[in-house]
Structure 1
Amino acid sequence: MGHPEQQYLDLLDRVLVKGDERMDRTGVGTKSLFGELLRFDLSAGQVPILTTKRVYWKTAVKEMLWFLRGGTNIQPLLRDNVRIWSDWPLARYRRETGSDITQAAFEDRIVADDAFANEWGDLGPVYGKQWRRWVDAAGTEHDQIATLIDTLKTNPTSRRMLFHAWNVGELDQMALPPCHMVYQFHVNTRGELNCLIFQRSCDLFLGAAFNFTGGAALVHMLAQQAGLTPGELVWVGGDVHIYLNHQDQVREQMARAPRPLPTLRLLRRPASINDYTIEDFEVSDYAPHPSIHGEVAV
């Protein structure tokens, strides 16, 4: 059987060769294909943290923990040295105030000034809000994650084990509508937890690596909480694309041979899904190629 990462590299190649070149919302432009699927076996402990470039896996896991805690403000992320969500509130601040503040100065002020963070650091009702506090028409809050874990424990053959973030009534309040929008789960007769992620839009060079890593970490946490073992991570992409200003970086990455995937182990079993910290995750035998830089399209 081939290296699991090869399917991702093959997808990059297909997009470069066959992708539809089009202008996009950001003004940068992309090459795009529609409807792709990748599968990663997590049952032996290996996780799809890409090796053809260094992935800062702790950043991806910290982001997932922020989602699971219901976070929508970037202040706790910045205090944890995670800067991947700063571009959107920074762009709004510059647009609405006319300031040419640097990203570093903006982030420093978010960290130090709670009032400033409350006004300018909130992203609106993004993933964490929808996952943990979806409000229905009657005003009742729904904790999709808690419901999922309860169902995994009590009715693991259910075909309704999922959560999603595409709340039509609140999309216009979000800094960025959800990309990885639906997570569906399946428990097989061996007690393995499988997860399918549907991602409506994916930046294959910058975003996908974080989505694979965060998804694998999520499966490990949910499996542990429900008394199951990790199974398979299935990733389905809708509009999968390479930004035109990432093509050289993608070709550099494609020229590299994948190395053995690392393994992930949870060092303790917290009382609930809310209580995990980055110190609970141990990644072993990760020896990737060097990182490759690319600018985020906002």
Structure 2
Amino acid sequence: MATTTTPDDSFSRTSPEGGTSAGRHPEWQYLDLMRRIWAEGSETRDRTGVGTRSVFGAMLRFDLADGRMPLLTTKRVYWKTATREMLWFLTGDTNIRALCAQGVQIWTDWPLDRFRRATGNDINREDFSERIVADREFAEQWGDLGPVYGKQWVDWPTYEADGDGKFRQGSGINQVAELLTSLRENPASRRHIIEGWNVAELDQMALPPCHKTYQFHVADGRLNCALYQRSCDVALGLPFNLWSAALLQRMIAQQVDLEPGELVWMGGDTHLYLNHEQLVTTQLSREPAGAPVLNILRRPPSIFEYTINDFEVVGYDPQGPLKAPVAV
């Protein structure tokens, strides 16, 4: 059943009219979606027990020409953290140790929750993360997430029959490497896809992939990307997801000598958590401004060799950060 709240000034405000190329800041799309979910979304109890308001089916579009990026300005988005996560995905690693060593805690809550449940030790996140970094054996036991994003992207498992008719695991498929080859050799193909939803391994993952399917499209010398996200936490997750998808698109475009085109984001269950009300209220009271630009400072030999120092953002002057609890 749809539920609504009594609108205050932030919920009732409407964004300026006009297209994104005609004076309307592209970030209004995000704010309009947030406002619609909070005012009109169906309220349900979700897997986490926190509860959400959600809509099903949403779309946002961003033109990445001239270095533009979907980097929100109505709150600070820690783009370096999101970039470190994307670079980690591309390694195929599934253990949080490398992330924790860089101070990135995006994935720490899931192993921490598993550790607390299994041991009864109510260790805090900072101490848990420090131990993951300091103790390799502890990290191997408690820091692995299962075959999440990066594993599927660069090492999708295959199976081969042996002489006895039994199956053994074969060489993994590097979807990202194959995508780049396909874009170079057959740009008109409609099969430029990176897929994360491996049905056979979902129950082994700490969290099944939310941003699950990326499809790329070449037209007029530009590389476009459509991302389908089955489940989307609009307040906390989507700002990172938009940046990360655009970053991946920009890196791939550079590697295959194309200009970045349009990023099309599509959401399935697109939701706001009920305990994010303060964040939502505050963010909807703000107006976007500015046009952040991403500069990629070098072109490494392959997409798997970028480092955090290869990226520079200019023209980013966001409003203050907004925090809210993560639902595990």
TM-score, structure 2 normalization: 0.90
Q: Which has the higher contact order (CA 8 A, sep 6+)?
A: 1
Q: Choose the corresponding residue for 1:155, options 169, 186, 195.
A: 186
Q: Matches of residues 85-100 of structure 1 in structure 2 within 5 Å?
A: 85-100=107-122
2:199 matches 1:168: yes
Number of the residue aligned with 2:26: 4
Question: How many angstroms does 1:216 deviate by?
Answer: 1.0
Deviation track 1:127-160 (CA, whole Å, cap 9, x = no partner) reads 0000000012323311100000001111111000
Q: Choose the corresponding residue for 1:62, options 81, 84, 87.
A: 84
2:45 matches 1:14: no
Number of the residue aligned with 2:268: 238
AA aligned to 2:141 is E
2:315 matches 1:292: no
| d(CA) in 1 for partners of 2:154, 2:104 | 21
Question: How many angstroms does 1:113 deviate by?
Answer: 0.5
| d(CA) in 2 for partners of 1:71, 1:205 | 27
Number of the residue aligned with 2:296: 266
The alignment partner of 1:217 has SS state of helix
2:250 matches 1:228: no
Question: How many angstroms does 1:229 deviate by?
Answer: 1.1
| d(CA) in 1 for partners of 2:269, 2:159 | 31
Question: How many angstroms does 1:245 deviate by?
Answer: 0.3
Number of the residue aligned with 1:110: 132
| d(CA) in 2 for partners of 1:41, 1:247 | 30
* 8 Å contact kept, 1:32–1:240: yes
Gaps of 5+ in 2: 1-21, 161-168
| d(CA) in 2 for partners of 1:45, 1:135 | 35
Number of the residue aligned with 2:50: 28
Aligned sequence identity (%) = 58
Q: Matches of residues 41-56 of structure 1 in structure 2 within 5 Å?
A: 41-56=63-78
**TM-align CA RMSD:** 0.7
Number of the residue aligned with 2:10: none
Question: How many angstroms does 1:221 deviate by?
Answer: 0.5
| d(CA) in 2 for partners of 1:227, 1:77 | 30
AA aligned to 2:256 is A
The alignment partner of 1:51 has SS state of coil
Deviation track 1:168-219 (CA, whole Å, cap 9, x = no partner) reads 0000000000000000000102x11100000000000000000011111111
AA aligned to 2:134 is A
Gaps of 5+ in 1: none
Deviates more, 1:64-73 or 1:236-245: 64-73
The alignment partner of 1:39 has SS state of strand
AA aligned to 1:157 is A
Question: How many angstroms does 1:272 deviate by?
Answer: 0.6
- Runs of 4+ displaced beyond 3 Å: none
Number of the residue aligned with 1:193: 223
| d(CA) in 2 for partners of 1:103, 1:45 | 36
The alignment partner of 1:16 has SS state of helix
* 8 Å contact kept, 1:50–1:261: no
AA aligned to 1:232 is E
Between Structure 1 and Structure 2, whose CA radius of gyration is higher? 2
Q: Choose the corresponding residue for 1:179, options 204, 210, 233.
A: 210
Question: How many angstroms does 1:80 deviate by?
Answer: 1.1
Q: Choose the corresponding residue for 2:176, options 145, 163, 168.
A: 145
The alignment partner of 2:159 has SS state of coil
Number of the residue aligned with 1:248: 278
The alignment partner of 1:239 has SS state of strand
2:319 matches 1:278: no
How many residues align? The count is: 297
The alignment partner of 1:95 has SS state of helix
| d(CA) in 2 for partners of 1:278, 1:148 | 23
